Amino acid sequence: MLFEKGKIQWVLVLAILALMISLGAPGVNYAASDVTPPTLNELTVSKQEATVGDEVKITADVSDDLSGVESVTVKYKAPIGTANKYMNLRLNTETGKYESSFEIGEYDASGNWGIDYILMRDKQDNTYSYHHSETGPYQGENS
């Protein structure tokens, strides 16, 4: 029979023991959730003016709060036509900054080139982008 005196005592002891273990056991701890995209701290362009054969270097100081930066992409827009430059900036482990460069080619359009957008992505696929309307005409840094 379930409600005999000895059985009730054991059921009570087991219930109290289970309650004590559950109260003393650590709760479920989840890792921090990464919902924040990377941050652009600084962007530099090596030349304000360039001619055929010149190399233009783009450097971005990008950081991420948790998972780390996965990629940084820059679209450099041609003044006319569709011959834009797309650059995947790579981490320079010595400087901790993301860098890429391109050479002004013989057939590249002459005129004012500008950064059309900067897209940053972290390892959790959080993204943030700056577009020309936000960054305005970019004034590069002379080197």
| Region of residue 67 (left: phi > 0; alpha: psi -120 to 50; beta: else) | alpha
Per-residue confidence (pLDDT) for residue 141, from 0 to 100:
32
pTM of the complete model = 0.69
Residue spans per domain, the chain? 39-135
Per-residue confidence (pLDDT) for residue 51, from 0 to 100:
85
What tokens were used for 83? 């011959």
Q: 39-135 in CATH: which number?
A: 2.60.40.1930
pLDDT tens, the chain, 143 aa long: 455 555 566 666 666 766 666 665 555 555 678 899 999 999 999 988 888 899 999 999 999 999 999 999 999 888 887 788 899 999 999 999 999 999 988 888 888 888 888 999 999 999 998 887 644 554 333 22
Q: What is the DSSP string of 31-63?
A: PPP--PPPEEEEEEES-SS--TT-EEEEEEEEE
